[in-house]
Amino acid sequence: MDNNEKINQIREQVLKGVKSKHKDVQLDKWLEYLEKNLSFPFEAKVLEAEGASDLSWQDIVKVKNINDYIDPYGVLLEIRKGRRKYIFPLCDLEVVDKQSENHFITQAYLDWWSNVFW
């Protein structure tokens, strides 16, 4: 199975049985899946740092856990860079270890998020 097939399989698994096309209903399922399946902590790269004055594009941060979710940002994560703690949208991060299960799970979420939100 190639990487795209794995990502598609995860997305289908998360939304299996969800009849509603409403973003919030689907986001609830994603949050449940992410809480159950992501392994913390893990390293991620900042893809977008708007509004985070101490973070820059390509910074490597440590993701500690899921904080919450809120429209229009989606799932929010607690991250750390050095001793500083931030709450940051998952959609603005990329898992560093491209072979990890966390990478495939977050990529499936990002694919869904970009198609539903935009």
* 3-state DSSP assignment of residue 13: helix
With cut-offs at 50, 70 and 90, classify the pLDDT of residue 52.
low
CA distance 53 to 101: 30
Would you report the helix, strand and coil content of the chain in percent, each value rounded to 5?
40, 30, 30
Which one, of 104, 116, 114, lies nearest residue 13 by Cα?
Answer: 104
Pick the CATH number of 3-117 from 2.30.30.530, 3.40.50.170, 2.40.30.30, 2.60.120.10: 2.30.30.530
State yes or no: pLDDT of 82 exceeds 70.
yes
CA distance 44 to 20: 31
Looking at residue 48, its pLDDT comes to: 87
CA distance 58 to 68: 23
Looking at residue 83, its pLDDT comes to: 93
| Report field, pTM of the whole predicted structure over 0.85 | yes
CA distance 65 to 2: 28
Looking at residue 73, its pLDDT comes to: 85
Looking at residue 118, its pLDDT comes to: 56
Q: What is the mean pLDDT of residues 27-39?
A: 96
Instruction: Pick 1 or 31 by higher pLDDT.
Output: 31
Looking at residue 44, its pLDDT comes to: 98
Which one, of 10, 46, 3, 48, lies nearest residue 30 by Cα?
Answer: 10
Q: Give the β-pairing of 74-81 and 42-46.
A: unpaired
